[in-house]
Structure 1
């Protein structure tokens, strides 16, 4: 049914799915026929209940099921599609290693050569990165992806927005950031957890309620001291990229406890390291400013949290297309993405095969 609606690879239901990064759900009977199941039950004297809608041809799934049952090649086609999806996941993971860099967990960059790779792999990887940076559970649909790919592989620098993501194409690559519109605050009572903007998991370890909201580059917060906010807002008089003159205001790292260990949380220091200066020196100012505006800022009782209180908060990247529902087809790519964002790896499937079938 999915294959009749899209040109993307259709695999049918997955035989292994990870929910909430915690529970693997395995489906060992996908290739067992209805006759097999009924024969098994008869042998044991067990009854069953038939759903009459399964035989009602007014339903598309009933018509499709009947067509598939008459097609002896259907099982082979699905297994071939599974292999192709796994190959795309592996290819996308390699593409991440070779062609993608992440700056401070907020600004992604695809190197120019990465935009000239195999179209199917680029479609797969860029679509899922779009979902991650946009905080969306699904990659953009076919029409939107065609538009994104046409822009990304074009020769003209410029910007476009799709899937809540700003794509900024420059000579040194394609930059991805969350667009600044539509970022809603998240109120967390003491001891409560939630997902902010589809991009960050947060747990409140304070004794008071906490708000997670978009950092305001024009106002002070624990992320952005007032002096730097003013400097970032003066775009007309500022250079196009962060140069040596901005060295004293380059983003430094503090740490916050997270469910998966320790990850960097964007903050500012007055004495950035040489390595940090070198890494940040060539970032386009406009792209980095958009990234700043999409960063999480934490407040309690209307005031920014101090570093001491920040350490009582769990804050870690959340991958909307994978952290709730991850099929084994996407496992390789998602796990590599976790490494890129320095988060905990996904739990591996507990079994490699079920009833002789590899999963």
Structure 2
């Protein structure tokens, strides 16, 4: 075996330190594309486990074949052979079907995590591990900062909960890609270079070229611990000031709302608005500025932003979904779907059900009034309540409805966990799945 250099040692030591943070036993599913980052990650983790002699940690691997270019299936087969040589269970998940003409990278990312979660189920994995490096982090920070998300909210988390089921862990976020490649070279291993990584039509590729040419090192500054402290402060504010009524209306005092000039207060309020509006993405910076200006004024009024009505009255500020563009969802028996981004619905009956927005008989309005919501607010908010009816003869409409924490139920960054937990509690939801590691944020920030 080739002699290890200091660069190789830092890669291997990072893998060892990462493995030492796990609650055991654990089975890690490594996402392996055949590129240098993911292949180096798999090899380093395998060597670290072999060196430790631990039998309570094991690896599995998955290659997602997006089927977007010729040769992708052959590369997946080559990765399967590499995994077999290491004695690691491996599965290929292929993205079949028609691909979108626009937004292909975002769609591929969404499908990749969906297929990785399927593989984790298939292989009995505890979590998913990816090979993102500091190079990826720098690119992400620059791209998100230029979209107006700001340096304070722009970095990737070392741990992300996907679909409320699997934690996705990124142990190499503080390593350069060059270090990982040096490690592979020292081990006598090559890798595949995806041609799309040189295609300038993609934003990330253009950003990568720009960073290489300008060396804008300042964009690599990312304080995840500071973001976690902000999340904790936002959670405290939510616990003190926010109330949720019938999973349809959020209320806070006007005095508390006027404090939204504070970034932590503002983050908490905007996260709640994301739940009420069923929106995953943040409001645009100019919309946030307009909203803050409205909230800090003492005069009552209404403002709509991100599908949410901010209704300011003498008794408080009330947030509810505007009664516009509300969808209809049909579900077969035992089928589960998401309605309006706000509710997860499972059909537990014996026939088709349909979910629409209506307040049949004014029952929801009366419940809101009984909960202390002003009648005018209750009347408007009730118009966006989900109503479930059976669409077949002799069928029973029986459905389980659960509020969806839209900003976090698909991707929940670990540094926002405490705020997401507070919001889930306000909406009567169970806590999120616990991480399989002791404290990855602390470990990765060392």
What TM bracket, shorter-length normalisation? 0.7 to 0.9
CA distance in structure 2 between the aligned counterparts of 1:298 and 1:208, rounded to whole angstroms: 12
Q: Does structure 1 residue 353 correspond to structure 2 residue 440?
A: yes
- Equivalent of 1:129 in 256, 272, 278: 272
Query: 1:84, CA displacement in angstroms?
Result: 2.6
CA distance in structure 2 between the aligned counterparts of 1:174 and 1:84, rounded to whole angstroms: 29
User: For the Cα contact (< 8 Å) 1:28–1:354, is it kept in 2?
Assistant: no
Q: What's the TM-score once normalised by structure 2's chain length?
A: 0.61
User: For the Cα contact (< 8 Å) 2:415–2:441, is it kept in 1?
Assistant: no
In structure 2, runs of 5+ residues without a counterpart are 1-142
Query: In structure 1, the residue corresponding to 2:144 is in which secondary structure?
Result: coil
- Equivalent of 2:387 in 297, 309, 322: 297
- Structure whose residues are more often helix by fraction: 2
Query: In structure 1, the residue corresponding to 2:146 is in which secondary structure?
Result: coil
Cα RMSD (Å): 2.8
CA distance in structure 1 between the aligned counterparts of 2:309 and 2:444, rounded to whole angstroms: 43
User: For the Cα contact (< 8 Å) 2:272–2:423, is it kept in 1?
Assistant: no
Q: What's the TM-score once normalised by structure 1's chain length?
A: 0.75
Distance 1:194-1:315 versus aligned 2 partners, 3 A rule = same
CA distance in structure 1 between the aligned counterparts of 2:189 and 2:240, rounded to whole angstroms: 55
Give the structure 2 partner of residue 92 of structure 1. 234
Query: In structure 2, the residue corresponding to 1:195 is in which secondary structure?
Result: strand
User: For the Cα contact (< 8 Å) 2:163–2:410, is it kept in 1?
Assistant: yes
In structure 1, runs of 5+ residues without a counterpart are 233-249, 252-265, 267-275
CA distance in structure 1 between the aligned counterparts of 2:199 and 2:328, rounded to whole angstroms: 47
Query: 1:50, CA displacement in angstroms?
Result: 3.3
Give the structure 1 partner of residue 313 of structure 2. 170
* Equivalence map 1:252-291=2 (5 Å): 279-280=371-372, 283-291=373-381
Query: In structure 2, the residue corresponding to 1:62 is in which secondary structure?
Result: helix
Query: 1:92, CA displacement in angstroms?
Result: 1.1
CA distance in structure 2 between the aligned counterparts of 1:285 and 1:187, rounded to whole angstroms: 31
Give the structure 2 partner of residue 60 of structure 1. 206
Q: Which has the higher contact order (CA 8 A, sep 6+)?
A: 1
Give the structure 1 partner of residue 283 of structure 2. 140
CA distance in structure 1 between the aligned counterparts of 2:311 and 2:441, rounded to whole angstroms: 45
Q: Does structure 1 residue 161 correspond to structure 2 residue 301?
A: no
Query: 1:42, CA displacement in angstroms?
Result: 1.9
CA distance in structure 2 between the aligned counterparts of 1:94 and 1:340, rounded to whole angstroms: 12
- Structure whose residues are more often strand by fraction: 1
- Pairs aligned (count): 298
CA distance in structure 1 between the aligned counterparts of 2:300 and 2:325, rounded to whole angstroms: 26
- Equivalent of 2:177 in 11, 21, 34: 34
Q: Does structure 1 residue 193 correspond to structure 2 residue 193?
A: no
